């Protein structure tokens, strides 16, 4: 509305001005050499306006002619740029769905139409990576690293290529150069921190951690936890070389991360050596409430030097009772009590503690039962049966990080280089699945575990040997094998019918003859022979079937993850559960260079 009013006002002013000029009398005299003109004032004004319009039109025509070549070049450049952007878009889409030939074709088109576009360089490098042409990819990434706008991206690409080629020195140099250019670069900080931890450069790792906090890459609680992890790793390394520095480091670490198991164990050890028993017990108890661990139980049992085995058992029982509300009667506490009871020769107590776990034992439970059988009764047969059962039993919790199982705690993951990655948990690869049958104990294991220990009775010299029953076949005169395994095997009647084997027979003591007995008469065919069911199934022994555990969803690695080596871990006592399908090279190769 305002514009309309303004337009009408301008028209009114123009009309008033034109009328005023038309009403003016007089004329204008123009003399140029011998030429003379004397138009009136209205005519002169009109001629002046026409001349101005002609000048403007002429100037426009001249400038248009002058600028036409440049505009044509600009239009051609815009068309090339549009074709290049279109090629880049389709090329990135081709890389996304893995079409190598199409990605290469679009990369060539992008390089031809938009050679200086950063996305064209990225498309060229990624298409070379997709084809497996690492030399070409490195050449393009070097060209990107020389440009100001793509320097960090080029360094990241060179770092990934060095990582895949197991070039640890080159990867470290590239990451350090990137972190100098951009301290807030997450990948460079992560890489440099991991490499310094792998080399045991704890001071350098702590400096990187401080930089991460100042640049806002990590928050304050994460910083405190990770600093405690690094200080604990330094204390463990210096424990045998510089105990003063190790003590100082672990005491600071336990303040920053009081629930960290290795820090609590080492701090309790130092406090115990300094005769600070109460302080050491409090440190272990705080970590135990958050994460029950066998190392904590062992440190708590030996917190006071010179105690007897029974005193250590009482102390472990006190620790096992200090469980949180969400972990009452934790299995680690029960196993710690059983371990201490065996050391104190309280075998009945150890059996009672392990009783709820022997139906579906883990490896540690089976080995403890084998030790009880060997130490209490000297029964090597039942001990061997429990040992064999331990081989097939479920795995106990272990230090696990990214599918890698270690026999000891480590500050970083050897797979991804992630700090504070190891957790005390059951390895994912060893968890049972709800599909497929479970491995049952063998018949011989069930026989050795179900049959009571044989009682050996030696006849007096004046007494005659016990004659075998008439209805039972007597053993042939041969060399006797009096081992428990052989005697248990003698009781097996493999040809007994199924309905007879299921009958219940009263337990009778087994009498070992002093000398080989003479063969007795063969039993009649109509005489029923009652066979003791030695090979008992889990249902016969009253063992409940284990509850099904839901299947584990596997974790899929990202496409640009270089992966890990297929070779096994270098640690002799490290157990690798499962064989991950991975590419060659990766973080494992870097870690092996630094002895991690």
Question: How many other CB atoms sit within 10 Å of the CB of residue 584?
Answer: 14
Q: What pLDDT does 456 receive? A: 47
Are the C-beta atoms of residues 520 and 465 closer than 8 Å to each other?
no
CA–CA gap between residue 414 and residue 297 (Å, rounded):
27
Q: Is 71 exposed, middle or buried (0-12, 13-18, 19+ CB in 10 A)?
A: exposed
CA–CA gap between residue 274 and residue 396 (Å, rounded):
34
Q: What is the 3-state secondary structure (H, E, C) of 169-213?
A: HHHHHHHHHHHHHCCCCHHHHHHHHHHHHHHCCHHHHHHHHHHHH
Q: What pLDDT does 326 receive? A: 54
Report field, pTM of the whole predicted structure over 0.75: no
Q: What are phi and psi of 401, to 5 degrees?
A: -150, 120
Residue (of 454, 317, 441, 337) closest to 386 by Cα position: 441
Q: What pLDDT does 442 receive? A: 53
∠ at Cα 416 (413, 419), nearest 5°? 45
Encoded tokens for 521: 């008469």
H/E element holding 565? none
Encoded tokens for 362: 């883990």
Question: How many other CB atoms sit within 10 Å of the CB of residue 277?
Answer: 14
151, 187, 390, 394, 452 from 361: Cα distances, Å: 57, 43, 8, 7, 20
Encoded tokens for 45: 């004004």
Q: What pLDDT does 592 receive? A: 56
The residues near 4 (Cβ < 8 Å, ≥ 6 apart) are none
Q: What pLDDT does 424 receive? A: 92
- CA atoms lying within 13 Å on the CB side of residue 64: 6
Encoded tokens for 118: 């950063």
CA–CA gap between residue 560 and residue 95 (Å, rounded):
12
Are the C-beta atoms of residues 363 and 394 closer than 8 Å to each other?
yes
User: pLDDT (tens digit, 0 to 9) for every residue of the chain, 596 residues total?
Assistant: 888 989 898 888 888 888 887 777 878 788 887 788 888 888 888 888 888 999 999 999 999 999 999 989 999 888 888 898 899 999 989 988 888 899 899 999 988 888 888 888 899 998 998 888 889 999 999 999 999 889 999 999 999 999 888 888 888 899 999 998 888 888 998 889 988 888 889 999 999 999 999 988 899 999 999 999 999 999 999 998 999 999 999 999 999 999 999 999 999 999 999 999 999 999 999 999 998 999 999 999 998 888 899 999 999 999 998 875 455 568 899 999 999 999 999 999 999 999 999 888 999 999 999 999 998 888 788 899 999 999 988 899 999 998 899 989 999 998 888 899 999 998 876 655 544 444 445 555 555 555 455 444 444 444 444 343 333 444 444 444 444 444 444 443 344 434 433 333 334 343 344 444 444 444 334 334 333 333 344 344 444 444 443 433 333 334 444 444 444 444 433 444 444 444 444 555 555 555 54
Are the C-beta atoms of residues 590 and 577 closer than 8 Å to each other?
no
Are the C-beta atoms of residues 502 and 487 closer than 8 Å to each other?
no
The residues near 244 (Cβ < 8 Å, ≥ 6 apart) are none
Residue (of 333, 439, 449, 428) closest to 393 by Cα position: 439
The residues near 380 (Cβ < 8 Å, ≥ 6 apart) are 374, 483, 484
The residues near 264 (Cβ < 8 Å, ≥ 6 apart) are 254, 258, 283, 284, 286, 287, 296, 299
CA–CA gap between residue 284 and residue 221 (Å, rounded):
21
Q: What is the largest CA-CA distance in the chain?
A: 176
Q: For the chain, how are helix, strand and coil distributed in percent, rounded to 5?
A: 55, 5, 40
CA–CA gap between residue 145 and residue 290 (Å, rounded):
47
CA–CA gap between residue 407 and residue 256 (Å, rounded):
25
> Could you tell me the strand order of the sheet in which 398-401 lies?
404-406, 398-401, 423-425
| 3-state SS, residue 362 | strand
Q: What are phi and psi of 558, to 5 degrees?
A: -65, 150
Are the C-beta atoms of residues 189 and 183 closer than 8 Å to each other?
yes
Long-range contacts, stretch 245-248, CB < 8 angstroms, 24+ apart? 246/270
| 3-state SS, residue 366 | helix
- Residue whose pair of structure tokens reads 């670069």 in the numeric block: 185
- Residue whose pair of structure tokens reads 């990770």 in the numeric block: 226
28, 115, 149, 530, 532 from 506: Cα distances, Å: 148, 93, 89, 10, 9
Are the C-beta atoms of residues 315 and 284 closer than 8 Å to each other?
no
């Amino acid at each position: 509305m305002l514009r309309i009013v303004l337009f009408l006002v301008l028209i009114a002013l123009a009309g008033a001005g034109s009328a005023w000029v038309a009403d003016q009398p007089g004329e204008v005299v123009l003399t140029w050499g011998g030429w003379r003109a004397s138009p009136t004032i209205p005519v002169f004004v009109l001629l002046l306006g026409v001349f101005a319009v002609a000048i403007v039109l002429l100037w426009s025509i001249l400038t248009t002619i002058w600028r036409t070549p440049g505009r044509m070049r600009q239009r051609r450049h815009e068309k090339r740029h549009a074709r290049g952007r279109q090629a880049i878009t389709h090329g990135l889409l081709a890389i996304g769905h893995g079409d190598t030939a199409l990605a290469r074709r679009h990369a060539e088109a992008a390089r031809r139409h938009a050679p200086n576009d950063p996305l064209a360089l990225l498309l060229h490098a990624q298409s070379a990576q997709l084809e497996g042409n690492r030399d070409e990819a490195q050449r393009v990434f070097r060209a990107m690293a020389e440009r100001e706008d793509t320097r960090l991206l080029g360094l990241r690409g060179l770092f990934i290529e060095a990582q895949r080629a197991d070039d640890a020195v080159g990867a470290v140099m590239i990451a350090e150069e990137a972190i100098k250019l951009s301290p807030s670069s997450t990948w460079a900080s992560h890489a440099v921190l991991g490499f310094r931890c792998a080399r045991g450069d704890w001071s350098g790792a702590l400096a990187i951690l401080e930089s991460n906090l100042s640049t806002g890459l990590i928050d304050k609680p994460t910083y405190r936890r990770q600093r405690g992890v690094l200080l604990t790793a330094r204390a463990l390394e210096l424990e045998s070389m510089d105990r003063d520095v190790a003590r100082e480091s672990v005491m600071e670490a336990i303040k920053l991360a009081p629930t960290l198991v290795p820090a609590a164990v080492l701090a309790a050890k130092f406090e115990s050596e300094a005769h600070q028993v109460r302080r050491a017990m409090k440190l272990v108890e705080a970590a135990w409430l958050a994460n029950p661990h066998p190392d904590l139980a062992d440190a708590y049992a030996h917190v006071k030097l010179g105690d007897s085995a029974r005193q250590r058992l009482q102390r472990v029982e006190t620790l096992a009772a200090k469980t949180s509300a969400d972990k009452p009667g934790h299995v680690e506490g029960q196993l710690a009590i059983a371990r201490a009871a065996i050391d104190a020769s309280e075998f009945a107590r150890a059996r009672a503690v392990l009783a709820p776990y022997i139906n579906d034992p883990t490896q540690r439970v089976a080995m403890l039962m084998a030790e009880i059988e060997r130490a209490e009764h000297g029964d090597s047969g039942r001990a061997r049966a429990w040992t064999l059962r331990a081989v097939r039993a479920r795995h106990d919790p272990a230090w696990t990080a990214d599918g890698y199982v270690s026999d000891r705690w480590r500050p970083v993951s050897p797979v991804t280089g992630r700090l504070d990655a190891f957790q005390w948990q059951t390895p994912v690869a060893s968890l049972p699945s709800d599909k497929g049958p479970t491995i049952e104990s063998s018949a011989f294991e069930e026989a050795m575990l179900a049959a009571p220990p044989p009682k050996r009775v030696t006849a007096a010299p004046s007494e005659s040997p016990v004659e075998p029953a008439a209805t039972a076949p007597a053993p042939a005169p041969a060399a006797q094998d009096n081992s428990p395994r052989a005697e248990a095997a003698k009781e097996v009647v493999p040809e007994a019918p199924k309905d007879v084997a299921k009958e219940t027979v009263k337990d009778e003591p087994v009498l070992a003859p002093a000398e080989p007995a003479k063969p007795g008469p063969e039993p009649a065919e109509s005489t029923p022979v009652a066979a003791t069911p030695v090979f008992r199934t889990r249902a016969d022994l009253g063992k409940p079937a284990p509850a099904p555990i839901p299947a584990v969803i596997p974790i899929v690695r990202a496409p640009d993850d270089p992966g890990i080596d297929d070779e096994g871990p270098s640690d002799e006592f490290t157990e690798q559960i499962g064989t991950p399908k991975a590419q060659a090279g990766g973080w494992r190769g870097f870690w092996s260079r630094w002895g991690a």
